[in-house]
Structure 1
Amino acid sequence: MSEIAARYRTRADIFAAKVAAVRPDQWSNPSPCTEWTARDVVGHIVEMHGAMLYPLGRSLSPARTVEEDPLAAFASARADVEALLADPAAAASGVDSPAGHVTTEQHIDQVVSADMVLHGWDLARATGQDDTIDPAELAAMWPGVQQIPDELRIPGAVRPGVVVFGPKVEVPDDAPLQHRVLGLLGRDPHWSA
């Protein structure tokens, strides 16, 4: 298993545990993502899994929908991406992304795998779970989040209807690293429903 596949698996395990811990009455809770419920957060992650398959002419396998069963929908999408990562030829194939021409596995690592970390925080916040992000993840994210270009904070800059990052949320320079990372990613670290 490659380092990227192993990292994906760890992140997916953590995200799946958060999905599994959501009570049925919490799926309609608001989330830190403006206009998204807890269910919408999982729906976004499932859709992004499909976006990783699309450049290779693949799509998500038939499965229960996020409306019917969020955990089953995520598990199926995850299996599709893990199968892609386990296929050396597919993983090494090239795709064009907003970050330039990268391998499929790099695209997965930079997009949906990383998305599960941030949106795991969103889901945890929306449903009253532990929202602590692994300190190693935060340390790895810190250099990159400091370099987010302003144009990626403009709704529709990448594609119509797509918001990549929200406006910066100011936090004190001496705030915990998790708060500083979240602020640069457009999240209020003290958000509550």
Structure 2
Amino acid sequence: MTENSSSQTADRYRKIAAAFTERVERVPADGWDSPSPCEGWVARDIIRHIVGTTEFFLGAPAQGAPSVDEDPVGAWKSARDTILGALADPAIAGKEVESPAGTRTIEEMIAIFGVGDLLIHTWDLSRATGQDDTLDADEVNRLFTFMQPMDEMMRQGGAFGLRVEVPEDADPQTRLIAFTGRTP
């Protein structure tokens, strides 16, 4: 990992996190129990998952983070700040960890899995709470290009449902969302 790649990952994460934060801050108090496009989840569960990925990436939960049940906005912001802090610290960002993709640095894990996960769940939260579901076009293209060769492998772990068929001329975001097993 180079400092440049870490800063690029931090920039990408920061951009997607800003869009996610906008959606999180707009969820009305009674919206946290709204059904999500993720089967069996409500809006609050999306936050719970994203906060949980912080622990997955770093091996420990965000310190002093509020409970997702009591303060989903605060829990998300604490997780976001923890990830950005890790990316800003070369000793943490460069630490090697075991992942589903083999041994990777924390920065690589966030670049490979964290940014994309946050992007897709921005769409989920937007849909669950009736907000604009438009995603960053560059990240949509990057993620879709990255995921396509792993189609079969992705579905084996149960993290993604079966691909939803969409017209050939569907826009890239619709194709990505459908590829992840969600109905656009």
Q: Please report the TM-score for the alignment, with normalisation by the length of structure 2.
A: 0.92
2:87 paired with 1:94: no
Q: Which residue of 1 aligns with 2:140?
A: 138
Cα deviations by residue, 1:66-116 (Å, 9 ceiling, x for unpaired): 111111001111122122111112111212211122211010122222211
Cα deviations by residue, 1:146-172 (Å, 9 ceiling, x for unpaired): 222324313xx3xxxxx3211111111
Cα distance in structure 1, aligned partners of 2:63 and 2:152: 36
Larger helix proportion of the pair: 2
2:53 paired with 1:48: yes
Q: Which residue of 2 aligns with 1:105?
A: 107
Cα distance in structure 1, aligned partners of 2:52 and 2:141: 27
Unaligned stretches of 5+ residues in structure 2: 1-5
Q: Which amino acid aligns with 2:81?
A: A
Q: Which residue of 1 aligns with 2:183?
A: 188
**Which one of 161, 165, 176 corresponds to residue 166 of structure 1?**
161
Coordinate RMSD, CA, aligned: 1.4
SS at match of 1:102: strand
Q: Which residue of 2 aligns with 1:3?
A: 8
Q: Which residue of 1 aligns with 2:18?
A: 13
Instruction: Using the aligned pairs only, state the percent identity.
Output: 42
Aligned residue-pair number: 179
Contact 2:92 2:106 in 1 (8 A): yes
Deviation at 1:48, TM superposition (A): 0.7
Contact 2:16 2:136 in 1 (8 A): no
Q: What pairs up with 1:49-128 in 2 under 5 angstroms? A: 49-54=54-59, 58-128=60-130
Q: Which residue of 2 aligns with 1:160?
A: none
Q: Which residue of 2 aligns with 1:25?
A: 30
Q: Which residue of 1 aligns with 2:171?
A: 176
Contact 2:33 2:44 in 1 (8 A): yes
Contact 2:43 2:129 in 1 (8 A): yes
Query: Greater shift after overlay, 172-181 or 36-45?
Result: 172-181
